[in-house]
Amino acid sequence: MNALDTTLLPNGRDVPFADIEATLARLARDDRRRKGGPARAQTATVVVVGERDRLVDAAEALAHLSEAEGVRAILISEGGETAPTARVTEHAIGIAGLAPQFLNNAVAALRLSSLPTAVWWRGGAPESLQDIARLADRLIIDVVDPSRAWPIARSIVEQSAVTDLRWTRLTRWRSVVAHLFDLPEVRSVPVTRLSVAGPDPFAARLFAGWLRSALHWGPDVTIDLRPSESGDQRAALDAVELDADGHHVSITRRATRGCLRAEIAGRDASTRVVPLGEGTLTAVIGEELGVRTRDLTFERALAAALEIPAWQ
């Protein structure tokens, strides 16, 4: 493996593909002898597909989950290799440069077939996405530009539960808005304008799509999406504003305090401060992997988001 692949699973050992399962079994036996306890039960397979540089932080995030929950991680980057060498640790398998036409075969051979399989899609040929989803109980989109992945995701919702990691990062934002609509003065008047600002145009579209689908907005509601000045790529959004028949609702991210501040203009009693929670990749993917059911709310939000143009 080259230097970049050594960064991925640095404590692993290189083995031919045919020897992966035997190596995993031997590593598990060695670990039991060393620790003097029973083997940790495995609960799921997580398949990560993406460019090599995006597999390293995914492997680090899953390493914490593997220790706690017995997840088997399979990390694959695409290339032109038909029989690449694999790098193996007790809980993870890394395969670099696998030819896309062999992706399904590799996953089918290495996943824990009697347990749930989640595919964490961090990049790769979109044509491979539809095929590998047939092997997954859950598909998690996590690419910088999902323009090609989102329409494919919509087409496979009947065969695999689908989501986008942006959806998880938007959870606190959605919760705050939902609570605001519990207030009579917000719930009882029609919204005329939504403004969303953030560093990620696709997160902004997904959030706007959620509101449009949940509140059954028609074309009379103006949706304004714009890049924020902060440029903080770790944030899902920076600000949301709603105008509703004389009421102005604003939600802003307070980066220094790690919270969201929501208020209705002129009403101090309606101000709410909500912690954003831990936004690390480990925390976000851990939260998402805890969901096993189909998310119809996300599916409706995605359908609406695809109809909303991104900012220019």
More confident residue, 230 or 241: 241
The rounded mean pLDDT for the chain is: 88
pLDDT at 19 over 50: yes
**Residue 98 φ then ψ, to 5°:** -75, 135
**pLDDT score at 1:** 46
Q: What is the pLDDT of residues 30-73, one digit of tens each?
A: 877 877 666 667 789 999 999 988 999 999 999 887 776 788 99
Q: What is the pLDDT of residues 84-111, one digit of tens each?
A: 889 999 889 999 999 999 999 999 999 9
**pLDDT score at 5:** 59
266 confidence band (pLDDT: 50, 70, 90): low
Q: What is the pLDDT of residues 271-294, one digit of tens each?
A: 788 888 888 899 999 999 988 889
Alpha-carbon span 111 to 17, nearest angstrom: 13
4 confidence band (pLDDT: 50, 70, 90): very low
**pLDDT score at 40:** 64
190 confidence band (pLDDT: 50, 70, 90): confident
Section 154-171 average pLDDT: 93
Q: What is the pLDDT of residues 78-88, one digit of tens each?
A: 999 888 889 99
pLDDT at 202 over 80: yes
